[in-house]
Chain A
């Protein structure tokens, strides 16, 4: 991936772009690489789609730099919906949209390395750092929940320094457990379910990001920030409320 300067990828030619997804979906992308302003634009554009609630639109969501909508082919056609999306896009500068309200800062303990993060050394080497420096780097600054996706409540967190632009592995690790901290392409993810993955497993949290029977089943929201810190007793984290994480309001 060519790492374009952040401002260029957002405002460069071709973006925002409207593309189709499958046979009944549209994706409005604000960049082709992870980008702070494009992420805010995607969140704001999706919120606008929810407010518009056009007839025939079945569902909206965001990914890192895009807003998605799925529609009912019996109620809409591609040309009509594309025209409405173009009009909405032109109605303002989405890149200067503010972050969502009600954001929180979560301080999350992580057990790094050993059997709880078997690929820490490999990931650190790809990033050109010792394991100790890697842990210090990953815990130095908060990372933001840029989107929730892949599995229920699962945050994509970023953006890490450029030396962490490491690729996914070619093979899949057959199973990485719930609560795992994994890394690739300048992002961290905490897994909300056990899953196979191409990302490298570097640590373990006690977080339960999805609680289907709770009144509020999803722990994190896009816009929240997460500050990791090293811990050493995973059993204690797993039994603690919210996996030992504490939240404070961001103003």
Chain B
């Protein structure tokens, strides 16, 4: 029997995402893939599977679905409201999704949330990946009535959660090709300005609204189009900064004032509109060291999982739980 999800409703902005399509930059196609790559790694750790497994990305959207078989799910990225046949599910954790049970997910504060399935999603691939790249016209958003094939799940553990993270609203930048164009005064002002995450944002980029003047440069309108990477903070002609994301253009002519470290992008992606951020420059050496440290932390996520603590008062079927057999020494959490 085929394992599949049936989508009952989906708002615009729900897409299948994996790690994207590296290798087409020279043809103008950006890598795309999940906006929040940390969320992919977290989902993979929770389900004990590779982070190349495709998941559903909810860009502030809502979703309702059922599964054709018993499955496992994990919920990562921006916290959202999730219920299983009406009973609330903890975000940042993995759970059982029994055959036929209805899973509902809806936004809480905004941001990008992720639903991962044990075995990963296996929709038809295009150019070597499952992810939709809406800006390039590859694939499309998930719609009501869709059936999405799911791979075999060799794991069995549920009831695990990620370590809790503190809210950090500083985005660290390394200098970009065009940083010097802005001049020392504007760069100093960038670090003292407060930026509010705008409601305008998508998989291509997120607009930030400064609490003072913008950052326009006169020569910015005439510079040559040059390579763009995700994280680049592009300043459009009106001085407004946009943080470019996974589905961004591959080259562009608006100057970039700096590049947000990839390890800081999840902070921005998980926050709701209205969240206030600060920008701070770090040197290239500091940036590289921070990225390497984050890669090490990400690789060890599977060992950082903890059993989900549930309030017994929220467990109407308490007697049905095998409480003792759920105890573990911890080392077997990676083997699920």
Contact = CB atoms under 8 A, between A and B. Distances in A.
Contacts of B144: none
Measured as residues with beta carbon below 8 angstroms from the partner, the interface class of chain B is 35 or more
Nearest to A77: B288
Interface in A35-84: 46, 58-66, 68, 70, 73-74, 77-78
Contacts of B9: none
Given A68-B25, A168-B253, A63 B135 contact: no
B112 interface: no
A65 B251 CA distance: 12
B247 to A, nearest CB: 10
B176 interface: yes
Find the residue from B28, B29, B225, B236 having the highest chain A CB count within 10 A: B28
Interface in B96-147: 126-127, 135-138
A63 B251 contact: yes
B28 A154 contact: yes
B227 A68 contact: yes
A25 interface: yes
A170 B222 contact: no
Contact of B28 (A22, A33, A152, A184): A152
Contact of B229 (A21, A167, A169): A21
Interface stretch (A104-112, A142-150, A224-232): A142-150
Contacts of A74: 292, 295
A27 B177 contact: yes
B232 interface: yes
Interface string B18-35: 000011111111000000
A59 B288 contact: no
B176 A22 contact: yes
B291 interface: yes
Contact of B253 (A59, A192, A193, A198): A198
Interface in A216-234: 217-218
Interface in A83-113: none
Nearest to A194: B137
Interface stretch (B188-196, B254-262, B306-314, B325-333): B254-262
Interface in A113-136: none
A22 B222 contact: no
B200 to A, nearest CB: 12
Contacts of B251: 63, 147, 149-150, 156
Contacts of A78: 284-285, 288
Interface residues of A, number: 55
A13 interface: no
A25 B23 contact: no
A151 B136 contact: yes
B174 interface: yes
Given A59-B23, A74-B295, A210-B137, A152 B29 contact: yes
B227 A156 contact: no
Contact of A170 (B22, B221, B226, B250): B221
Nearest to A1: B222
A152 B29 CA distance: 4
A152 B24 contact: yes
Contacts of B288: 23-24, 73, 77-78
Interface in A133-179: 147-154, 156, 165, 167-172
B237 interface: yes
Given A23-B287, A23-B291, A27-B177, A149 B236 contact: no
17 contacts: A23-B259, A25-B229, A61-B25, A63-B225, A63-B227, A66-B226, A66-B227, A74-B295, A77-B288, A78-B285, A153-B28, A171-B237, A185-B253, A193-B135, A198-B237, A212-B127, A212-B138
Shortest 4 CB-CB distances between A and B: which pairs? A149-B251, A170-B237, A61-B25, A152-B29
Given A153-B29, A156-B251, 13 more contacts: A22-B229, A58-B22, A70-B25, A77-B288, A78-B288, A149-B251, A152-B137, A154-B28, A167-B222, A172-B236, A210-B28, A213-B126, A217-B27
